Amino acid sequence: MSRERVVVAPADATDAAALDRALEAGVERFGVPDGLAHCIGSIVVKPMHSTSDSELHDAFAANYFSAWNALRAFVRMLLAAQAGGSAVLFGSVASRTGFPNHEAIASAKAAVGALAQVAAATYAARGIRVNCIHPGLIVSAMSARLTSAPQVAKRLADANPLGRLGVGDDPAALAAFLLSADASWVTGQQFGVDGGQGALIVSPRS
């Protein structure tokens, strides 16, 4: 009995055809998937007046169009198989809070959140659930230029209501729940996993 559980199929998610081919590799090995987690993103922190057209386009390509391509391919597979499933997209706390110098990334991630909510409405009757997680700043390779300097990381952590930066397991735990049968009555929702940063105003730490 095979114990294989993962197939790795690298692809540029901004290329719809390439993404379709990668997903087909998984279908050939394991059958039609019942879950999708779209975890692709980027960080763009600069004011609008100094953001180039190419930087804006790149932000939307990496964040919104990759989510569109992945969700569309997933939905098409489920519809063809007459099956239900669950998708989790990732937005950002920046799309729900007015952080300075986040115009490009905030607008791209806001589009991801809108995509999740509207797709949830469109496909609810087909048994397809779609939710969106909006993380705060997560310590990762992508955020290293913001978090690798101890003094900067401390300042960012101190500004968070819970006093720390996020780690990958924080949003991953919620994503696992949303993809599971335990969340079978949850769809069209926007969840902040950000230490309260998107919802709370607290006094600065002394």
SS (H, E, C) 81-134: HCCCEEEEEECCHHHCCCCCCCHHHHHHHHHHHHHHHHHHHHHHHHCEEEEEEE
Asked if pLDDT for residue 80 goes beyond 60, the answer is yes
Query: Is residue 14 in some structural domain?
Result: no
Asked if pLDDT for residue 204 goes beyond 80, the answer is no
> pLDDT band for position 87 (50/70/90)?
very high
Q: Is the dihedral of CA 112, 67, 106, 147 positive or negative?
A: positive
Query: Is residue 12 in some structural domain?
Result: no
pLDDT in tens, 14-53: 999 999 999 999 999 999 999 999 999 999 999 999 999 9
d(CA 25, CA 39): 19
Asked if pLDDT for residue 164 goes beyond 80, the answer is yes
Query: Is residue 38 in some structural domain?
Result: yes
Query: Is residue 152 in some structural domain?
Result: yes
Asked if pLDDT for residue 77 goes beyond 90, the answer is yes
DSSP summary character for residue 166: B
Residue 36, pLDDT score: 98
Query: Is residue 99 in some structural domain?
Result: yes
Residue 2, pLDDT score: 54
**Structural domain range at position 169:** 34-193
Query: Is residue 27 in some structural domain?
Result: no
- Domain count within the chain: 1
CATH code assigned at 167: 3.40.50.720
Is the entire prediction scored with pTM above 0.85? yes
Pick from 30-39, 144-153, 178-187: least confident? 144-153
Residue 1, pLDDT score: 41
Residue 12, pLDDT score: 96
Query: Is residue 5 in some structural domain?
Result: no
Asked if pLDDT for residue 126 goes beyond 60, the answer is yes
Pairing of β 35-38 and β 128-135: unpaired
Query: Is residue 20 in some structural domain?
Result: no
